[in-house]
Structure 1
Amino acid sequence: MTTLASIILLIFTWCLIDLKLGHKRYTKEAANTNYPPRKSEMTVFTSGKILFEDFTEEIKRAQDSIHILFYIVKNDQFSKDFLKLLQTKAETGVEVRLLADWVGSKQISRTTIRQLKRSGVHFSFSFKPKLPFLFYTIQKRNHRKITVIDGKIGYLGGFNIGREYINQGDKLNPWRDYHLKMTGEGVKDLQEVFLSDWFHDTNEDLRGTPAYFPNLKAGSQAHQVVVTNGCDLEQTLIGLIRQAKEKIIIGTPYFIPSNSLFHELREALSRNVSVTVIVPENSDHALVKEASFPYFRVLIKEGAAIMQFQRGFYHSKVILIDDTICDIGTANFDKRSCFLNGEINCLIYDRTFIEDVEKELAVDVAESKLMNGDKLSSMNLVRTAKESLASILSPFL
């Protein structure tokens, strides 16, 4: 038993050192980029079925290049149809690049990769584990979802490639999420992010290729793309919360904030800012629900409204600050997005666009029920045990 305990302690210590040193080195090398304010035309999608109908048609119309990054690409029929479309476009002479996270897209087989490459699709996994910081790189994720077509049309947001995202999954249906379509000068930023990630994972440097950066006209909607790589997201979110004067609405599937983020939300409540958090009633991952309960008990007591979405699964990543700033992207309101994942978000300042998002959030609230603080605080030994374990694992959930 002593030997076993020593081995476990040694493994735990190694993992801790690996994680800290790996994070320190990676954050020193990785560039977090706040792009300058841009103007584009943007559309928000909250239905995967409608999004992917539009997405597919734009891919079919592509003439020169298709650059796609997803965290998850599965092995179901919807995913196979998506990959077949990319193969078809590559066979017609369109340059196609597909980047998929090594963990999130583990269902992509070697056979499928060979088929993609034979068709002319350039493929790579993102964030593959490597030495010397093996544990850290296994935890690292490229959680971004970016598509750029012909350098002129861009997409980013929360949807991935799989049948559950078009409401054909075995459970958690329908799927509620937020995804942006962008045309205008902001697409340049999405292209730069994709090509930077491509270079990081393949060592092929296409970042200065003129063909991928056509002249783009400014649109009417002001926005700013924010890219983070396991650092700086926390400060970005804190900055947003501090700007709130009247209300904050947060839509997220996983609410596991850092201590600093949690403190800022409590500060907002203390200055009479209305705080509403929308989360799913049912979770898609073990312990993430229990990890949020200790925060919710405090926030409810201090006046926040915690809403549990009832109509399917809530996977949205959206924040509304008053009627002036809207944040839509890939980052969850949790420690993993703040301190591990590669993320991309878009801060939008256009009043008309924000009004459209407010309408969608009103639907989210209407299809949710208010969490009962007394029930959450009642004695429940199983829940307490799960919360204790979730607290320990919270940086990795």
Structure 2
Amino acid sequence: MIILLVIFLWLYIDFTLGRKSHMKKLERTTLPMRKSDMDMFTDGPALFKDLFSELRNAQKHIHILFYIVKDDKISEEFLSILKGKAKEGVEVRLLLDWAGSFPVKSKTIKELKSSGIKFSFAHVPKPPFLFYSFQARNHRKITVIDGTIGFSGGFNIGKEYINQDKKLTPWRDYHLKFQGEGVHDLQREFLADWYKATKTDLLANCIYFPELRAGKYRHQFSAYKGAYLEENFSSLIRKAKQSITIGTPYFIPSKRLFKDLSHALERGITVRLLIPCVTDHILVKEASYLYLRKLLKQGAYVYQYLNGFYHAKAIMIDNEIADVGTANFDKRSLFLNYEINCFIYDKDFIQKVQTIVDTDIRNSKRLTLKELNRLDPFRTFKEMLARTVASFL
């Protein structure tokens, strides 16, 4: 018992001091409003067909950041394309989160480097705050090709993302493709993360920032480093006049955001939540029930996606603002992970996102308060356990 108390105390002190140290060093940045041509993918095979085609057509440089790359066939194909481009003389930089891409073998990394790829892990745990640094992961997904084409969204690299996991098939996600001014911001955020991981500063190198034309759709990126996401989400919710729709695989809001949603319901705002029916992580579903019960009592609509696994991250406010990105509506994204989201202000593209979200709601079932309140001792036990670790799920 004493040993357990000592371990718990160490973890608490490590996390608390690590968080304070992180926040002291943090600088808030605001990215400009941009105009880009944009496409939205919801299906893994279609996304990777397009992404891999663009990678094969790269002429100068490829910069890629993923949270997860696995040791499977789709990952092998992805890495093989990168090795081939590097051997052709294209600059290739690959940055993977240390925890998320742990399955990538050291042998594979050696092969990548020997082919000419510049490789690094992001967010490798290090002292003095080992526990905190392990928890604060780089959850972004960024691809920039020749400084002119960009991708970002919810998909990673692995068999489940191309519908080859029996439990999670089909995989439903949202991923954006950009051509236009916004690609500069994706490039800038990748190179900032590359500098953090490798101490190689390429941000001032103009070859990575070619002149780009303005595209059709007005949007703005927001990049987060374990802070300020809660503030931005709160601002969105408080601006709502008619409706709020939130799509997320994990619904574990902070106290502030939960109050914002509750107050929105009190103001007569329609609040719709779209979440998965099946889950890909232990306890995340049970962690959401405490919040869902209270919101359902106030009149919120909660939909559980039935056609596979729902992993998309989106927020719609009054059909006037759409947010699509990498951040989940949970405490890990709010207070720990590096994330990047795209706020869209063009009504035509917002309507496109709305149509996709509405389709996903039609492929869902309404969750009722009666269902959540049904006697289930095992679920109750899991809910109690989930509450103790909700910040780290």
Match of 1:35 in 2: 31
Which amino acid in structure 2 is aligned with residue 78 of structure 1? I
Q: What is the aligned partner in structure 1 of residue 168 from structure 2?
A: 172
1:12 aligned partner, one-letter code: F
**Structure 2 counterpart of 1:95, one-letter code:** E
Paired residue type of 2:172: R
Fraction of identical pairs, as percent? 54
Q: TM-score, normalised by structure 2?
A: 0.99
SS of the residue aligned with 1:8? helix
Aligned pair count reads 393
Tell me what 2:288 maps to.
Answer: 292
Separation of aligned partners in 1, 2:268 and 2:369? 20
Aligned to 2:300: 304
Q: For each residue in 1:236-257, what CA deviation from the matched residue of structure 2 results, as whole angstroms up to 9, or x when unmatched?
A: 0000101111111100000000
Stretch of structure 1 that moved more, 271-280 or 376-385: 376-385
Question: CA–CA distance in 1 between the matches of 2:136 and 2:178?
Answer: 28
Choose from 213, 218, 222 the match for 2:218.
Answer: 222
The ranges of structure 1 where at least 4 consecutive aligned residues each deviate by more than 3 angstroms after the TM superposition are none
Aligned partner of 2:206 in structure 1 is 210
Residue 24 (1) aligns with residue 16 (2): no
| CA displacement at 1:7 relative to structure 2 | 1.4
Q: Give the Cα–Cα distance (whole angstroms) in 1 for the partners of residues 303 and 149 of structure 2.
A: 34
Which SS does the other structure have where 2:65 is aligned? strand
Structure 2's unaligned 5+ residue stretches are: none
| Residue identity matched to 1:358 | Q
Write the distance in 2 (CA, Å) between the matches of 1:15 and 1:105: 24
1:249 is aligned to 2:245: yes
Q: What's the counterpart of residue 119 of structure 2?
A: 123
Is residue 101 of structure 2 the alignment partner of residue 102 of structure 1?
Answer: no
Query: TM-score, normalising length from structure 1?
Result: 0.98
Q: Distance in 2 between matches of 1:6 and 1:32?
A: 41
Q: What residue identity is the alignment partner of 1:101? A: D
Q: Which amino acid aligns with 1:380?
A: D
**Aligned partners of 1:40 and 1:182 also within 8 Å:** yes
2:132 aligned residue: 136
1:88 and 1:78 mapped to 2: Cα distance? Answer: 15
Aligned-residue Cα RMSD (Å) equals: 0.8
What residue is the counterpart of 1:91 in the other structure?
A: 87
Aligned partner of 1:184 in structure 2 is 180
3-state SS in 2 of match to 1:250: strand
Does residue 54 of the first structure (1) align with residue 54 of the second (2)?
no
Which whole-Å CA distance do the structure 2 matches of 1:363 and 1:49 have between them? 19
Q: What letter corresponds to residue 382 of structure 1 in structure 2? A: F
Q: Secondary structure at the match of 2:50?
A: helix
Instruction: Point out the more displaced range, 378-387 or 315-324.
Output: 378-387
Question: Conserved in 2, the CA contact under 8 Å of 1:27 and 1:229?
Answer: no
Following superposition of structure 1 onto structure 2, how do residues 258-273 of structure 1 map, counting pairs within 5 Å?
A: 258-273=254-269
The alpha-carbon deviation at position 378 of structure 1 amounts to 2.1
Tell me if the contact between 1:279 and 1:309 (Cα under 8 Å) persists in the aligned partners: yes
Encode CA deviations 1:42-80: one digit per residue, 9 max, x unaligned: 111111111111101111111100000000000100100
SS at match of 1:272: coil
Q: Judge conservation of contact 1:331–1:343 (CA < 8 Å) in 2.
A: yes
CA distance in 1, matches of 2:110, 2:28: 33
SS in 2 for 1:215: coil
Is 1:69 the equivalent of 2:49?
Answer: no
Cα distance in 1 for partners of 2:73, 2:270 equals 44
Which residue of 1 is the match for residue 342 of structure 2? 346
Within 1, Cα distance between the matches of 2:278 and 2:30?
Answer: 34
Q: Deviations over 1:129-157 (max 9, x none)?
A: 00000010111110000000000100100
Inter-partner Cα distance in structure 2 for 1:291 and 1:307: 16
Q: Check the 8 A contact 1:65/1:150 in 2, yes or no.
A: yes
The residue identity in structure 1 corresponding to 2:148 is K
Counterparts of 1:181 and 1:34, CA distance in 2: 21
Contact kept? 1:34, 1:224, Cα under 8 Å: no
Matched, 1:335 2:331: yes
Letter in 2 for 1:237: F
Q: Secondary structure, in 3 states, of the residue corresponding to 2:16?
A: helix
Which secondary structure does the structure 1 equivalent of 2:244 belong to? strand
Q: How far apart in 2 are the matches of 1:34 and 1:363?
A: 33
**SS of 1:53 mapped into structure 2:** helix
Query: Partner of 1:150 in structure 2?
Result: 146
Amino acid in structure 2 at the alignment position of 1:207: L
1:313–1:32 distance in 2 versus 1, CA, 3 Å: farther
**Distance (whole Å) between structure 1 residues aligned to residue 361 and residue 386 of structure 2:** 27
8 Å contact from structure 1 (residues 127, 141) kept in 2: yes
Structure 1 alignment gaps of length 5 or more: none
Shift of 1:345: 0.3
